[in-house]
Amino acid sequence: MRVVFLLYPVQSCDIYACSETRALVLMTLPLFLAQLAIIIGLALRYDRYWLIWASSFLLLHVVTDLVGLRPGTSWWAFASAHVIWSYCTSAVFLWGVWSYAPARGRHARV
Distance of CA 33 to the CA centre of its chain: 7
* 87: pLDDT strictly greater than 80: yes
Distance of CA 45 to the CA centre of its chain: 20
User: Residue 60: helix, strand or coil by DSSP?
Assistant: helix
* pLDDT value at residue 100: 74
Task: Tell me what the mean pLDDT of segment 76-95 comes to.
Answer: 92
Q: Give me the residue spans of the domains in the chain.
A: 19-100
More confident: 22 or 65: 65
- Whether 13 and 3 have beta carbons less than 8 Å apart is answered as yes
Q: Which residues pair with 3 in a beta bridge?
A: 13
Task: Tell me what the mean pLDDT of segment 46-66 comes to.
Answer: 93
pTM to 2 decimals? 0.71
Distance of CA 36 to the CA centre of its chain: 7
